[in-house]
């Protein structure tokens, strides 16, 4: 009976230790929500550019409901809102010319440790290429970078919305 009690107790202790182990890739904020919007104080997306052929002032505040919705000839840059992921913030900036996305750059990506940097080194170029090819935020998740991919898509969609692209 004593052996069974010791075995059971040691098994329970081992399971508790196993499930409470934090890996080095979990980052400091491992318990945060997967995606939340702009905790850095930014209210959302911002548009800097011109709307060719529009009768307005040529610049939009980034509010998708304000101004005309026909930016098909517009050009400029749009910074998407910050997507807070469990590994850190993700934010992208798009360059628009002639109503098309001509470039996507990352403003912020998780960089809390070396593993984050390794993931971003291979995931961000793939995400950029997908965004340019599809001209939308409907891009595939990069294997091994699911959380970063989700944040990238969220920030990209907010930038596309602010630029009034379809």
Tell me whether residue 14 is in a domain: no
pLDDT in the model for residue 125: 93
For residue 47, give the CATH number of its domain.
Answer: 3.90.1010
When pLDDT is averaged across residues 30-48 and rounded to a whole number, the result is 40
Q: Report pTM.
A: 0.59
Q: Structurally, how many domains does the chain consist of? A: 1
Residue 23 binned pLDDT confidence (cut-offs 50, 70, 90): low
pLDDT in tens, 101-136: 899 999 999 888 888 889 989 999 999 999 999 988
Q: Kind and range of the H or E element at 125?
A: helix 114-134
Domain encompassing residue 132: 29-162
When pLDDT is averaged across residues 24-53 and rounded to a whole number, the result is 42
Tell me whether residue 72 is in a domain: yes
Return d(Cα 136, Cα 56) in angstroms, integer: 26
Instruction: Answer yes or no: are the C-beta atoms of 163 and 96 closer than 8 Å.
Output: yes
pLDDT in the model for residue 151: 92
Tell me whether residue 11 is in a domain: no
Is residue 152 over pLDDT 70? Answer: yes
pLDDT in the model for residue 73: 54
Tell me whether residue 137 is in a domain: yes
Tell me whether residue 77 is in a domain: yes
E runs forming strands in 46-136: 46-50, 75-79, 83-85, 88-97, 100-108
Return d(Cα 46, Cα 130) in angstroms, integer: 22
Tell me whether residue 142 is in a domain: yes
pLDDT in the model for residue 39: 36
Tell me whether residue 135 is in a domain: yes
Measured between alpha carbons, how far apart are the two ends of the chain, in Å? 71
Tell me whether residue 6 is in a domain: no
């Amino acid at each position: 009976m004593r052996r069974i009690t010791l075995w059971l107790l040691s098994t329970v202790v081992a399971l508790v230790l196993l499930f409470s182990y934090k890996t080095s890739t979990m980052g400091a904020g491992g318990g945060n929500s997967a995606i939340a919007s702009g905790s850095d104080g930014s209210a959302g997306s911002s548009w800097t550019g011109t709307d060719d052929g529009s009768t307005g002032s040529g610049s939009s505040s980034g509010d998708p409901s304000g101004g005309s919705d026909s930016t098909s000839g517009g050009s400029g840059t749009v910074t998407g809102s910050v997507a807070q992921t469990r590994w850190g913030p993700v934010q992208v900036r798009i360059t628009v010319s002639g109503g098309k996305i001509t470039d996507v750059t990352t403003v912020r990506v998780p960089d809390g440790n070396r593993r984050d940097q390794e993931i971003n080194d291979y995931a961000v170029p793939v995400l950029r290429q997908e965004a340019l090819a599809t001209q939308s935020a409907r891009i595939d998740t990069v294997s091994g970078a699911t959380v970063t991919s989700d944040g990238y898509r969220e920030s990209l969609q907010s930038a596309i919305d602010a630029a009034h692209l379809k």
